[in-house]
Amino acid sequence: MAILEIKKLEESSDLSLQLFENRIQAGFPSPAQGAFADTVDLNHELINNPAATFCARVIGDSMIDSGINEGDMLIIDRSIEPNDGDIAVCFIDGDFTVKRILIDNDEVSLVPANKKYPIIKVPKESNFIIWGVVSHIIKKLNR
């Protein structure tokens, strides 16, 4: 799976949207109080370190069982120290990919979230870096 269009997010952009005052039930519906009390800045909610944050659109289906589908937008923070089990964007031998990383001593494996794809054990001689950790996934749900 490759990542297309890795773009740096602009630090100065302001994206404020109305914030619905009440929490929204995922179970039984509750009566809506109907109040928009405040705004929320998505940059503030999604980006901790603007200078090290990028976005990329996903192609392929190797991470579908982790809820990452083709067309989703990833928010990638290069300032986050990668840990075992993180979902990360990695560069291996000339290609970008998004996978769950497993770190065992000095060995790294890239684990897809789709049984169709094998685990990639990263050979020590590979040109490999963990480029950044995925901090958020943005999905488009409407048609």
Catalytic residues: 62, 99
Separation CA 12–CA 46 (nearest Å): 14
Separation CA 58–CA 92 (nearest Å): 17
Q: Cα separations (Å) of 18 from 30, 37, 53, 83, 101?
A: 20, 8, 24, 35, 36
Neighbouring-strand partners of residue 73: 57, 138
Q: Cα separations (Å) of 97 from 3, 4, 25, 121, 142?
A: 6, 10, 35, 13, 26
In 3-state terms, what secondary structure has residue 50?
helix
